[in-house]
A and B are shown apart, each in its own frame.
Chain A
């Protein structure tokens, strides 16, 4: 049994579970209450905020807790309703939590431009420069693509935005915990994060909002999260998130090294494969441990089913609701024709994978192809 779909979600870290259990058992107070139980819960949240801020080099007041990466993205994009400038620039390979929101916003008079990507899935900063209009009110470009792992030149793109005085948001859900990520080096105004992508719990995420930058609340009510998100806080989720970020801060170089080792080993194993294969995404500028591979002539759903029988869990393109295989938009954007598009697997390693797991996966794939 081995799990190689860590870009979809990761198994929760035991330290995170322990902290969440403690918080659930011991601290039920409402953080908005002024009595001691309330104060204790409030303290847990604020200490967590500090810990999380430290992980990305931010200040604690720049962290807003949300329910997910998608919610963080939505907060930024729906704030456009209050912006006098009604144009958004994005890339053509964003997650639906950006793309579909922009489509919804069209009904409210907000238009958008999608920047193309090259064959590696990379946005060219020059195209951004050319796409900027007088009424551009926001630029949003993901940091790491979830299907192919390419890392965008975010600091360069964000600098262009800043020179034009346009707020810059990046969906960094797939980045944290896999590459160094410090806000003062990125020059972004807003970043979206999700805890379960880095061994934290599901149902909790956060938004980095640079000081003095304005956004509007999606959920209105109480004054939690400085009025940016009403609703009693998910205390144990936030505590778990904080532990997960602390683990990143303490272990990032080790984790990166481990992922690189697994990736290298897997690719070496597959050198003996009796079939043409190629890897997608940028060959160098990419997150470690995420492999997007195309085996022309071998449909990914069939490969996945056969691997699943061996309890080897991988993904094809991007996981979707009822799971039927559709050509991926991201792969289309990097120039894959549909016939090889549907022959693409995503393998994403994690801290729990061992060299033996990787060997098993590679051997299983080789014998399936040789069948």
Chain B
């Protein structure tokens, strides 16, 4: 019986080159296109993406199959997304999608299909140390996606391959170009997959969660505007606050500093350097240790958002899945709901959801 490697293909250049690379190395591979969102939201580019995936698979001559995890996505990712927003927090559905869909539903489905391993187009690397699998940053530092993989477990890592984890995005595009893979210049997907462009965000969210308008106040307690609902804003946000002149002491832009949920007040502060925007410590819950709790608690680094530079920190382990992080430098816009991800050099130790900051 054949035991292929099954590649999750999205119609984008990264997963396409991943499939191509494995095929070139002589592995028996098959591709699967996942459809995780039902319905006709204007943002759903699924048909176009499927067409691209089909053309790539045709070009490199590998079978393409499709599967729908729309129900699983709805139950395990979208409900989480809504629940966090309704608590006025800023969720990260990409991390949860990886944990629940790509490295759970898709992985198990592939195993049912007889797959030896799965592969995806993530910029990250897997190693093995003392009998445990470890997750590492992608070689291309500007594209590293280990942040989004912080919720993976040992089963997922033991069964996964990241074929482009050790090459650069430029090289990936070059490989696509050299081999006439159709989508070598296709632009990277941005935004949340089921909403699409950020411009639609408000309209989208409104369909699921009722709006609760309230006041915008400065960190000194002065009312300076109105908001349509705290759920629409994220900490550190600069655009779309609609605060006119006259409130501030200068022409500096305004930023969201906090959400006062009891009073339904959006708290803003003027200027990127305003102290209300900075905190040095935070607590993280639902923390997932990829390869177990580390012995090292000091001189680690963390990211509190994707693509942030590594920030020096020390940690305290409060319980099995709760930690406390203390940064060397105060951090701008620590956002409850987002993931804090810990690193020891290039090893991703794991991550969890930011609960509180001080």
Contact = CB atoms under 8 A, between A and B. Distances in A.
Interface string B16-36: 000000000000001001010
A324 B63 CA distance: 15
A301 B114 contact: no
Nearest to A322: B50
Given A322-B46, A371-B1, A306 B113 contact: yes
Interface in A80-100: none
B112 interface: yes
Contacts of B46: 322
A337 interface: no
A301 B50 contact: no
Contacts of B209: none
B66 interface: yes
A305 B33 CA distance: 13
Nearest to A309: B2
Nearest to A304: B65
A325 interface: yes
A326 interface: yes
B249 to A, nearest CB: 56
B345 to A, nearest CB: 41
Contacts, number: 32
B83 interface: no
Contact of A306 (B33, B66, B67, B114): B114
A322 B33 contact: yes
A320 to B, nearest CB: 10
A324 B47 contact: no
B68 interface: yes
B29 to A, nearest CB: 12
What is the interface residue range for chain B against chain A?
Answer: 10 to 19
Interface string B99-140: 000000000000011100000000000000000000000000
A308 B32 CA distance: 14
Main secondary structure of the interface of B (DSSP, over half): mixed
Contacts of A306: 113-114
A305 B68 contact: no
A322 B47 CA distance: 7
B113 A324 contact: no
A109 interface: no
Interface string A296-333: 00000110011011000000000001111110000000
B2 A301 contact: no
Given A301-B65, A309-B2, A322 B35 contact: yes
Which of B30, B35, B65, B113 has the most CB atoms of chain A within a 10 A radius of its CB?
B65
A305 B65 contact: yes
A327 to B, nearest CB: 11
Given A309-B2, A371-B1, A323 B65 contact: yes
Given A302-B113, A324-B35, A308 B63 contact: yes
Contact of B66 (A308, A309, A322): A322
Contacts of A301: 65, 67
Which of A302, A308, A324, A326 has the most CB atoms of chain B within a 10 A radius of its CB?
A324
B243 to A, nearest CB: 45
B73 to A, nearest CB: 12
B114 A325 contact: no
B47 A321 contact: yes
A302 B32 CA distance: 12
B66 A324 contact: yes
B72 to A, nearest CB: 12
A326 B47 contact: no
A305 B110 CA distance: 11
Interface string B185-216: 00000000000000000000000000000000
Nearest to B2: A309
A324 B67 contact: yes
A325 B68 contact: yes
A324 B46 CA distance: 11
Contacts of A322: 33, 35, 46-47, 50, 66
Nearest to A326: B68
A274 B66 CA distance: 28
A309 B65 contact: no
Contacts of A309: 2, 63
Contacts of A323: 65-66
A275 B112 CA distance: 18
Interface in B32-48: 33, 35, 46-47
Nearest to B49: A322
Nearest 6 A-B pairs (CB), nearest first? A324-B68, A323-B66, A322-B50, A324-B35, A324-B66, A305-B65
Given A325-B68, A371-B1, 7 more contacts: A302-B112, A309-B63, A321-B47, A323-B66, A324-B35, A324-B68, A324-B70
Interface of A: 301-302, 305-306, 308-309, 321-326, 371
9 contacts: A305-B30, A305-B65, A306-B113, A308-B63, A308-B65, A322-B50, A322-B66, A324-B67, A324-B68
